[in-house]
Amino acid sequence: MNAVSEQVNGLLAVKTTIAAAELDAKRPQGSVTLVAVSKTHDADTIRPTLEAGQRVYGENRVQEAENKWPALRADYPDLELHLLGPLQSNKAREAVALFDVIESVDRPKIAQALAEEMQRQGRCPSCLVQINTGLEPQKAGIPPQDADTFITACKDLGLPITGLMCIPPADENPAPHFALLREIARRNGLEVLSMGMSGDYQTAIALGATHVRVGTAIFGSRPALASAE
Ligand SMILES: *Cc1c(COP(=O)(O)O)cnc(C)c1O
């Protein structure tokens, strides 16, 4: 098997697993969107998955995404790009210009900067609020107990908040974290639930994920440093 087809095999395997998890959860086929996490992988590695029909991708860093996605988008104008990593307010302009979904709205300063940029550019990527369900000090996100207030503040700024995102603690059963995210979304009337990664996306689908973010299971492992976050 050559290197080029490996990520396509990975993609097809993940799609098959998603379909089975949808069936198990008695959810409609196609109700879960696969966000293929392409951070650290170059355009030549990504391209075969685009040729295989994948259209939704996630990246962690604005700069890295700016370097590879404009050229790919020229060939695939219908693709959808998600920002997954923490955003600095001095990158809000680039983020609003490039991404279709910003999954990592995690503090008032960023909410404010995004709202101003959307106003200025007239471009409105939909936004998810990242919740730090495990209250981990090293992890971004709003503490669960502050979620309702923060979501309301974002809506008051005019941000198009459509849902929530979380990254459960690596060493814990993710299920209670996914259930908590679903409950916060429910009581705030939000539909999008971005939860589940390579190791736990089936669990996330059972608990209502609308989007799963899968990198390693498609593209293989990343250099150790870049896989953090
Ligand atoms: C890297 C990353 C992923 C993908 O993780 P895998 O374990 O490789 O599937 C998903 N979500 C976020 C926020 C990430 O940073």
Cβ pair 184, 147 in contact under 8 A: yes
Q: Which tokens belong to 136?
A: 């981990």
Residues constituting the chain: 229
Residue to probe by mutation, ligand 1, list 14, 35, 37, 167, most atoms within 8 Å of CB: 37
Closest CA to 91 of 71, 114, 68: 114
Q: What is the pLDDT along the chain (229 residues), one digit of tens a residue?
A: 455 589 999 999 999 999 999 999 999 999 999 999 999 999 999 999 999 999 999 999 999 999 999 999 999 999 999 999 999 999 999 999 999 999 999 999 999 999 999 999 999 999 999 999 999 999 999 999 999 999 999 999 999 999 999 999 999 999 999 999 999 999 999 999 999 999 999 999 999 999 999 999 999 998 876 544 4
Atom of ligand 1 nearest to the CA of 197: 9
